């Protein structure tokens, strides 16, 4: 314990919150509350979510990103989150890692996507030593030539899916990944375990903007697309 405290002396404090199976909507609401109302640093690790769910960025348009008829038929929840970025499908097999940090938590880090992704890749680098050739390519985490996380920014035609995507379970267990992430965070922060009161204090008098789209909203989007198509044809 003494050696650990000496190693972490002078590092900024981060609240490490480990969750299991919390719904992605609940997680997004918690993240936004902490982002808007807390002045502390946070790392949230959520091991899986309750059911398969589509999550779109704040400016995402269902008519452009989804096969609306199939989504409605299969009753798949669709969430528009409060942050930007692409559209993803998450489920029980997804591990979520979120950082909410003050600008000065990492000295010299520029507040732009590429520098932030470069810094976050350092947290995972040691975890994959001896397991795979880990790196950051564009805005994706990769093992060799196949990605396993990050931002989806391009579409490659005429390429088999398994040729550029890999599954982490091929390389390590879920618990090893989560524990390795915790160890990586500890290299840059002094870890603190928040209690229920720490979370509850940020839950009142704030209305998060991430929302579950209703079936009617999805139908309306599809109708708008149909009307637009007819108008162009005329």
pLDDT digits (tens, 9 = 90+) for 33-42: 998 888 899 9
pLDDT for the residue 154: 29
pLDDT for the residue 229: 42
- Span 76-97, mean pLDDT? 90
Cα–Cα distance between 9 and 50 in angstroms, integer?
38
For 124-143, the pLDDT digits (tens) are: 888 888 888 898 887 788 88
pLDDT for the residue 117: 86
Query: Band of the pLDDT at 72, cuts 50, 70, 90?
Result: very high
Following DSSP, what letter does each residue of 34-94 receive, concatenated?
HHHH--SEEEEEEE--SS-EEEE-TT--HHHH--HHHHHHHT--EEE-SS-S--EEE-TT-
Beta bridge partners of 147: 142, 165
pLDDT for the residue 4: 44
pLDDT for the residue 163: 55
Query: Band of the pLDDT at 1, cuts 50, 70, 90?
Result: very low
Residue 110 to residues 1, 47, 69, 114: CA-CA distances in angstroms? Answer: 33, 29, 42, 9
Average pLDDT of the chain to the nearest whole number: 82
**Weakest mean pLDDT among 73-87, 95-109, 199-213:** 199-213
CATH fold for the domain made of 1-105+189-215:
BirA Bifunctional Protein; domain 2 (3.30.930)
**Weakest mean pLDDT among 31-45, 102-116, 155-169, 185-199:** 155-169
Cα–Cα distance between 50 and 21 in angstroms, integer?
6
Residue spans of the domains in the chain: they are: 1-105+189-215, 107-187
Given a cut of 60, whether residue 2 has pLDDT beyond it is no
Cα–Cα distance between 231 and 234 in angstroms, integer?
5
- Span 46-66, mean pLDDT? 91
Given a cut of 50, whether residue 147 has pLDDT beyond it is yes
For 176-203, the pLDDT digits (tens) are: 999 999 999 999 999 999 987 777 776 6
């Amino acid at each position: 314990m003494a050696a650990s405290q000496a190693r972490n002396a002078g590092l900024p404090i981060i609240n490490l919150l480990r969750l299991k199976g919390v719904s992605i909507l609940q997680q997004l609401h918690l993240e936004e509350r902490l982002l808007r109302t807390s002045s502390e640093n946070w790392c949230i690790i959520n091991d899986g979510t309750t059911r398969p769910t589509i999550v779109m960025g704040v400016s995402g348009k269902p008519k452009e990103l989804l096969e609306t008829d199939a989504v409605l038929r299969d009753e798949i929840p669709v969430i528009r989150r409060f942050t930007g970025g692409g559209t993803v499908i998450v489920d029980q097999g997804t591990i979520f890692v979120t950082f909410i940090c003050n600008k000065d938590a990492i000295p010299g880090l520029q507040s732009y996507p590429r520098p932030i992704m470069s810094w976050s890749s350092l947290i995972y680098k040691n975890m994959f030593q001896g397991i795979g050739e880990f790196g950051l390519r564009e805005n994706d985490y990769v093992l060799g030539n196949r990605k396993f996380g990050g931002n989806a920014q391009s579409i490659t035609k005429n390429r088999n899916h398994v040729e550029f995507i890999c599954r982490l379970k091929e390389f390590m267990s879920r618990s090893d990944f989560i524990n390795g992430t915790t160890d990586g965070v500890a290299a840059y922060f002094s870890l603190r375990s928040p209690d229920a009161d720490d979370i509850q204090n940020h839950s009142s008098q704030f209305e998060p903007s991430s929302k579950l789209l209703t079936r009617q909203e999805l139908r309306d989007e599809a109708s708008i697309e149909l009307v637009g198509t007819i108008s162009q044809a005329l």
